[in-house]
Homo-oligomer: A and B are copies of this chain.
Amino acid sequence: MLSKKTKYALHALTYLGKHKDEKTVLIHDIAEEHGISHKFLENILLELKKAGMLGSKKGKGGGYYLIKEPKDIPLSKVIRLLDGPIALLPCVSLNYYEPCAECKSEALCGINKVMVQVRDETLKILENKTLEDILKTG
Is A138 within 8 A of B35, CB to CB? no
Is B90 within 8 A of A1, CB to CB? yes
| Count of chain copies | 2
CB distance from A81 to the nearest CB of B (A): 15
Is A102 within 8 A of B36, CB to CB? yes
Segment among A47-55, A60-68, A127-135 that sits at the interface with chain B? A127-135
A87 to B35, CA, bound (A): 23
Q: Which residues of B contact A7 (CB under 8 A)?
A: 89, 100, 102, 111
Is A111 within 8 A of B14, CB to CB? yes
User: Which 7 residue pairs are nearest across A and B when measured between Cβ atoms?
Assistant: A110-B134, A110-B138, A110-B137, A121-B121, A34-B102, A114-B129, A2-B88
